[in-house]
Amino acid sequence: MYFIWVIARREFTENIFSLRLLIGLIVCLALFVASTYVLTEDYEKRLSIHNAAEIKHRNALEEVKVYSQLKVDVTKPPEPLSVICLGIERQLGSAVTVSYEDVPTEAKTVGGGNPLLNVFSAVDAVLMAQIAFSLFVISIAYDVISGERENGTLALVSSNPVSKYHILIGKYLGGMVSLLVPLAIGWIAAAILIYVNPAIEFHITEWSRFVLLFAALALYLSVFFLVSMLVSAITHRSARALVWLLFLWIVLVFIIPNGAVYIAKQVRPIPSKAVVNTETAAITTRFREKIRDYGARHRSNSYFAGGYSVISGNQPFAFQVLTASKEAMLWYLDGAQFYIPHRIEYAEQIGNLYQGYYRSLKRQTGLAENLSRLSPAWVYYNISAGLSGTDLRRHERFIHQTQDYRKAVMAYMQEQEAFSSISWFAPVNINDMPSQAGFMQSEEKTFLANIIPKSWDDVEPLDLSSMPVFTVGSAWGNVALGGAFPDLVLLFFLNILLFLSTGAMFLKSEVR
């Protein structure tokens, strides 16, 4: 253990006081802190847009006066840890409209701004680590063994009663500590930026994931440090080791992830969305024909109603009716009881169609993800996005939550008899409505004036206080670790495998 400590201390001292480490760390840390600062500002803007949308949605619910108007807009708030790893949060939408008419299958973008700017990748801390930090590690460690072999230092160290494994462990510990200590300072600086920003609320779960993100960063950089040691142990010239490492870096960071996407497209092609849109149009056409046929068979021009809005004046499909005779109300109710179940049925068919299309996309994406795991850069990204709650799994969970919420809202509407009473389209009690024969009599008009609002502005909104409230679950727990934990294990065992391989090659190599 003494020789390990001596070698580690010497390695640490040499690295810390080397000019290349100093310059590299200053540049990397400056970029890291700058990216965190920019993303905190971006998060603050996205949070402000989300809060404004929430207020708008609450105000809209307060204006619902009949159940046909009930549509609930829900939005997913930005993840606090997106300031470290933005993931796909800016590429995918965060707003969904929940109603009986549609099954949520995708989200739309909320707020203004220039959507075309989303094509530019955000430079977050994870992207910095994937590219800049990994390349920086190679520039530091490419000659960790071959360099000492060239200048004779390795032979001098080996002349002491110390095993090669002790040398290897000492060099690894000293080199990694010299890299991680300054990076830890940068990580703390990022934490301070986050802490002092009043718009970002970090609780114990967020800080726990923040620490795990740094652990993932350490494991990722350790992979490239060990790869550098392995190549440095195999080759006898530092220049040759550097060339091989730069080639491996390009393969691991760029070629494998992009090649995985290409292979997935070839092996598991997806159907054209035009086919799905055509099938959707066919379903919609069948629905409209069925509604049109029913309306033609139940057409009537004999009912009088004032101050109302309907789909067709002589067809029994109404969304808003302020006042009408009892017979007219029952006529509209018959139309609604035919229209609503069919509208829900066809919405389910279209939803199943798009979910089937999404499953084909998911299968292709899953193959690309599995192939990309040959790249430690992708594994590290997957861990970081999973811990940050900005990965695809988190977005899928939000969509599934909106689908469950739709079922809860529809169950609530059924409990309120929204689908089976005139409260679907009218704000009055059907028993208060006069018959068709007496609707125009003066005494009935006087009676109606006392119980029925004169316009829709006078109608009281529905009491929706008992309606289920949508909540977005936390990204912590099974959601975050479920996606990140396997990749964390993979990255950990990759480090062990590389260390053992480096040790085996170092034992076989010459010290001169």
Domain boundaries, the chain: 273-374+408-458
pLDDT digits (tens, 9 = 90+) for 212-267: 999 999 999 999 999 999 998 888 888 899 999 999 999 999 999 999 999 999 99
Ranges in the chain, pLDDT < 70: 1, 111-122, 155, 157-161, 301-314, 436-454, 473-482, 509-512
Give Cα separations from 482 to 365, 487, 488 (angstroms). Answer: 17, 10, 11
How far is it between the farthest Cα atoms of the chain? 117
List the structure tokens of 394.
């988190």
Which pLDDT score, from 0 to 100, does residue 139 have? 86
Which pLDDT score, from 0 to 100, does residue 122 have? 62
For residue 261, how far is the Cα from the chain centroid? 19
State the Cα–Cα distance between residues 116 and 31, nearest whole angstrom: 24
Which pLDDT score, from 0 to 100, does residue 307 have? 46
Cβ partners under 8 Å of residue 352, min gap 6: 103
Cβ atoms within 10 Å of 328's Cβ, excluding its own = 23
Which residues lie across from 99 on neighbouring strands? 102
Q: Say what the pTM is.
A: 0.87
- Identify the DSSP state of 133: I
